[in-house]
Amino acid sequence: MNVTIVDYNSGNISSVINSFKEVAKDKVNIEVTSDLNKIKSSDKVVLPGQGSFKSCVDALNNISGLVDTLNEFAIDNKKPLLGICVGLQMFADVGYEEIETKGLGWISGKVSKIDNQNGKYKLPHIGWNELNIVKDSKIFKGIENNSHMYFVHSYELIPNDKNVVSAITDYSSNIVCSIEKENIFGTQFHPEKSDKAGLKIIDNFINL
């Protein structure tokens, strides 16, 4: 089986690569590439994202054919795809970080700045926070509710359809921290930085 981590120059993804390789051992081939043919032929795809919504969308668009290839993979062929952090946020129709930027449009909704209640809550939201699992998700198999995950973000995904939400975390309000819609999965937290529970989520995705 081939799992491809999309490398589209979106910042440092070495911890994502290392944690997937650690979990996969020798059972699964982990490829890190922006080669469209390799992405198309892979069994599963991971879309990481660091930095701003706009910078990540721009980086995707800078690689000719990449967005079309991801659409074909996830939307047309319905193969499993996992978005991490800004990787998840880009599923939305639109993001409002820096300037209004069009997203991939896979999850109807928007990405807006977390309401920090006039400075009551620090932004970015950095550190460990509790996961409140609100629906059964294949990637949460064996994960206890109220497990702690590691976050670094100032913006949140607000989906129009709350049925796609698989977990929330309480920070100023109920922030969406994971989604599952058919073959599309996303986490706002960083599973690769979330200790054993995070590695279990990666393992669950690899074993889908």
DSSP state of 62: H
2-206 classified as CATH 3.40.50.10540: no
Compute the residue count for the chain: 208
Active site residue 56: no
3-state secondary structure 80-136: CEEEECHHHHCCEEEECCCCCEECCCCEEEEEEECCCCCCCCCCCEEEEEECEECCC
* Known catalytic membership, residue 144: no
pLDDT in tens, the chain (208 residues): 999 999 999 888 999 999 999 999 888 999 999 999 999 999 999 999 999 999 999 999 999 999 999 999 999 999 999 999 999 999 999 999 999 999 999 999 999 999 999 999 999 999 999 999 999 999 999 999 999 999 999 999 999 999 999 999 999 999 999 999 999 999 999 999 999 999 999 999 999 9
Taken in order 141, 142, 146, 152, is the CA torsion positive or negative?
negative
- 8 Å CB contact between 59 and 9: yes
190 in active site: yes
Please report the pLDDT score of residue 10 as a whole number.
84
Catalytic residue among 56, 85, 125, 156: 85
Instruction: Give the Cα-Cα-Cα angle 114, 116, 121 (nearest 5 degrees).
Output: 120
- pLDDT value of position 179: 98
In this prediction, residue 67 carries a pLDDT of 98
C-alpha atoms less than 13 angstroms from C-alpha of 13 in its C-beta half-sphere = 26
Q: Is 11 helix (H, G, I), strand (E, B) or coil?
A: coil
Supply the pLDDT for residue 26. 84
The whole-model pTM stands at 0.97
CB-CB contact of 88 with 188 (8 Å) = yes
Question: Where in the chain are the domains?
Answer: 2-206
